[in-house]
Chain A
Amino acid sequence: MDATVAQTGTEGKTWGGGNRPLKASYGKMMMWFFIVSDALTFSGFLASYGFSRFKFIDSWPIADEVFTHVPFLHGVPAPMYYVAFMTFILIFSSVTMVLAVDAGHKMQKKKVIWYLFFTIIGGLIFVGSQAWEWATFIKGDYGAVETNGGKILQFLDKDGKRVAIGEFATTLPSTTETHTEGNGIWYMEGGTETSFNYEEVKAGFLANENLLIRDQELIPDMEALRASEDTADKQEVARLERSFINLDATGEKAIYSREMSVAKLVNDGKLVVEGANLKHNEYGTPLFADFFFFITGFHGFHVFSGVIFNLIIFFNVIIGTYERRGHYEMVEKVGLYWHFVDLVWVFVFTFFYLV
């Protein structure tokens, strides 16, 4: 055997092998590798969200107006509170996780079990909240009309308060039937039926003089625009003054005058949108819904798999696997993953709800 072992005379020196410059175990290193690559994946998603937002910077939905619901508080507009609650749940479950890791270092099995248990509960509450948030977003609240160009028109009363389409749409005698795959041309299906169709909304809108329409366009900084000498800017000011009645509300959605509202709805309206899916979104550009589903969905999947990992090590702790192994490093590694999920949420929270 000796013949196969080369003695290089460098044992114990820096390049002699067996050196661990980062002083981290293999498992922890690999978890960090994964975390760095996953962080890049998430930043790719968030950066592409930023790309699309910059592309439609003057018509992106305002998150405050989209996520205004809190469970059991029906009809009370409470922007941000529920997401703030979700953020706290996740941060708190991070705290119990790091306490579990700390207890693991001290080989306190009972404490590890309890802290892991609370972490799992926190994770489940978060995933449940996420599901509720999705359901609310998919269901929508006021409904809107989509134009031929894919823009969203929302309805307001004279005081600028949102009006649901169900409140003014007239029911017209009609016999619409959803076209299914079974009849007619193969593999063709009709879209989802909304509670009112475009004609009904149009009739109701024309009959009710008090209604106005809000565009997804945001009011720009009018002072700067009016001061500009550029011809294109001058035309833009003229167009804005002709169309909208709330030009002093910089950064808010533009509201058409009654006359323009009617013209817009009659000439450009196409279909009624209720809630959001991957193709239509009553709150504004469909890309917003696409990114919301994709990014929070991917994050929610991470939380879900984190809960599964936590459950596995939770049972391993109970049956004493790590006690026999002599150390609780596995708790630490899963802990790294769990904190990373929390870290990602901090960014998702900022870029979807705050900024």
Chain B
Amino acid sequence: MAHEHKLEIFRGLLKFKSNVTKIWGVFTVLSIVTVVEVALGIIKPEWLTENRFMAMKLLNWIFIILTLAKAYYITWDFMHMRDEVKAMRRAVVWTGVFLICYLVLILLIEGDYIYEVYKSNYVKFNF
């Protein structure tokens, strides 16, 4: 079994000398991202909660994007996806991503629809 590891992250911007130093490097990245998330979650800057992009608060966009970034580094470096062949990566990631996007889209649209029905119907439910 060959165990060559690709030792670059950030598209080659950061190159590590060994796999172990890369692991600590990725851990640092994940920690920084988590600290930023928690700090934003506690502070909740007003301009991020009041402004929206595509019906979602900017703060939530930041949270979701940072989460996906974290997921990327966990999968790529901790689960060694970076070292697998391209077909393997795509078989796993694309399957998941497409199905999940579809599921989320359908369920959230339906949820919002039911909210509108509740709101504008003639049934009293707040009693």
A residues lining the B interface (CB < 8 Å): 21-24, 32, 35-36, 39-40, 43-44, 47-48, 50-58, 64, 79-81, 84, 87-88, 91-92, 94-95, 97-99, 101-102, 105, 147-149, 151, 217, 232, 250-251, 268, 327, 329, 332, 335-336, 339-340, 342-343, 346-347, 349-350, 353-355
18 further A-B contacts with Cβ under 8 Å, apart from A336-B79, A343-B75, are: A22-B88, A35-B92, A36-B92, A40-B100, A43-B100, A43-B103, A44-B103, A50-B107, A54-B111, A91-B31, A91-B34, A94-B78, A99-B23, A101-B80, A102-B19, A339-B79, A343-B79, A355-B63
Q: What chain A residues lie within 8 Å of B19 (beta carbons)?
A: 102
Distance of A58 Cα from B111 Cα, bound (Å): 12
Interchain nearest-CB distance for B94 vs A (Å): 10
Contacts A36-B92, A339-B79, A350-B67 known; A149 to B126 CB distance under 8 Å? yes
Interface string of B92-121 (1 = CB under 8 A from A): 100110011001100110111011001110
17 A-B contact pairs sorted by A residue (CB < 8 Å): A23-B84, A47-B104, A50-B111, A51-B110, A54-B112, A55-B112, A55-B114, A55-B115, A94-B74, A149-B126, A251-B49, A268-B127, A340-B79, A347-B67, A350-B64, A353-B41, A355-B64
B79 neighbours in A (Cβ, 8 Å): 335-336, 339-340, 343
**In the complex the two chains form, is A95's CB within 8 Å of B23's CB?**
yes
Q: A40-B96, A102-B19 are in contact. Are A48 and B107 (CB under 8 A)?
A: yes
Chain B residues within an 8 Å CB radius of A64: 41
Whether B112 pairs with A57 at a CB distance below 8 angstroms is yes
**Is A346 in contact with B67, judged by CB distance below 8 angstroms?**
yes
Asked if B125 is at the interface of the complex by the 8 Å CB criterion, the answer is: yes
CB contact between B78 and one of A87, A98, A151 (< 8 Å): that residue: A98
CB distance from B53 to the nearest CB of A (A): 14
- What CA separation (Å) do A268 and B70 show in the bound complex? 46
In the bound complex, what is the Cα–Cα distance between A52 and B114 (angstroms)? 9
* Distance in angstroms between the alpha carbons of A48 and B103 in the assembled complex: 9
Residue from the list B34, B60, B85, B91 in contact with A87, Cβ < 8 A? B34
List chain A residues, Cβ under 8 A from B70: 346
Residues from chain A with a CB closer than 8 A to the CB of B108 are 47, 50-51, 54
CA distance A68 to B38 in the complex (A): 13
Pairwise interchain contact B30-A151, C-beta atoms closer than 8 A: no
B71 contacts chain A at the CB level, 8 A cutoff: yes
B-side interface residues, number (CB < 8 Å): 54
Query: A residues within 8 A CB of B104?
Result: 43, 47, 50
In the complex, which residues of chain B have a beta carbon less than 8 angstroms from the beta carbon of A148?
Answer: 127
With A23-B84, A99-B23 known as contacts, the answer to whether A51 contacts B107 (CB < 8 A) is yes
Return B59 CB to nearest CB of chain A, in Å.
Answer: 8
Closest to B20 in A: A102
Beta-carbon nearest neighbor of B1 in chain A: A327
Expressed in whole angstroms, the Cα–Cα distance for A251 and B59 within the complex equals 14
The complex places the Cα of A350 from the Cα of B71 at a distance, in Å, of: 11
Q: Decide if B85 touches A350 in the complex (CB within 8 Å).
A: no
Q: How many angstroms from the CA of A79 to the CA of B24 in the assembled complex?
A: 28
Smallest beta-carbon distance B54→chain A, Å: 15
A350 adjacent to B63 (CB under 8 Å): yes
Contact A347 B78 (CB under 8 A): no
Q: Determine if B3 is an interface residue (Cβ-Cβ < 8 Å).
A: yes
Answer whether residue B8 sits at the interface, using C-beta atoms and an 8 A cutoff: no
CB distance from B99 to the nearest CB of A (A): 6
Proximity string of chain B (47-66) to chain A, C-beta cutoff 8 Å, 1 when within and 0 when not:
00110000000001001100
Q: How far is the CB of B79 from chain A (nearest CB, A)?
A: 5
A-side contacts of B16, CB under 8 Å: none
Q: Are A339 and B78 in contact (CB under 8 A)?
A: yes
B87 contacts chain A at the CB level, 8 A cutoff: yes
B118 nearest CB neighbor, chain A only: A55
Residues of chain B within 8 A of A44, CB atoms compared: 103
Nearest residue (CB) in B for A40 is B99
Q: How far is the CA of A349 from the CA of B30 in the complex (A)?
A: 14
Residues of B near A327 (CB, < 8 A) are 1
